[in-house]
Amino acid sequence: MNQKSPVIQPRRHFLALAGASFLGIACSGRKAGAGGMTFRMGERATVGKLIYNVTEAQWKTNLGDGASARVPEHRFLVVRVTVTNSGTDQVAMPLLKIFDANGNSYLEQDNGEGVEGWMGFLRMMSGVETREGALLFDVVPASYKLQITDGGDAENEIVGYVDIPLQLESDPVLSEPPAIQPAPGANQ
């Protein structure tokens, strides 16, 4: 009478299935970070050889002054970032994109006119180089995730995400005008 208990048999099947699943994931050849780890603003975010640090996000109603000011379709989001190439080889840092809560993606603007310290359109980083600059998006004010990448080819690209929470500071253009002071000698 070497019959197994009916309760133990399903547990063995479950454990065998769980073990096989774990091995399948562990041996799938995916690189660390390929699952899209999420970081907070201000945190060091490493994807492959590139290390990102998003330091600030500002909403702007326009870029520049006067008649030549650029006006967005929605609102400009200027993201300040520091990027370090920790490798020894040259790396191309592509235009980045952000995702909203519904999974819609928005590509970085390829024209940074009016943005102080814009990182540029074509970004080649030498080995062991660090750059600070700004990224520009034209999106509806909301919280987003900035997708960061190691700049690799599509098949081997490593990605991560940085949370960009919605923080509307007072924009000087939208601020209330200063109170008008009465003229000297006028009755108060």
Identify whether 107 is part of a domain.
Answer: yes
Overall average pLDDT of the 44-51 stretch: 95
Query: Is residue 47 in a domain?
Result: yes
Residue 186 falls inside a structural domain: no
Q: How far apart are CA 82 and CA 148, in angstroms?
A: 12
**If you search the block for the tokens 């990224």, which residue do you land on?**
135
Looking at the domain assignment, is residue 28 inside a domain? no
E-assigned strand segments in the chain? 37-40, 45-47, 50-60, 75-85, 91-92, 97-99, 105-107, 124-125, 129-139, 144-149, 159-164
Average pLDDT over residues 58-76: 93
Residue 78: CATH number of its domain? 2.60.40.1240
Backbone angles phi, psi at 83, to 5 degrees: -125, 130
| Residue 82 located in a structural domain | yes
Amino acid at 81: V
| Domain ranges, residue 93 | 43-63+71-164
Q: Give how many domains the chain has, as a whole number.
A: 1
Chain mean pLDDT for the chain:
81
Residue 8 lies in a domain: no
- What pTM did the predictor assign? 0.71
| Domain-located, residue 98 | yes
pLDDT tens digits for range 4-22:
555 545 444 443 444 433 3
Distance, CA of 87 to CA of 126 (rounded, Å): 9
Is position 55 within any domain? yes
Angle at 134 (CA atoms; ends 132, 140), nearest 5 degrees: 150
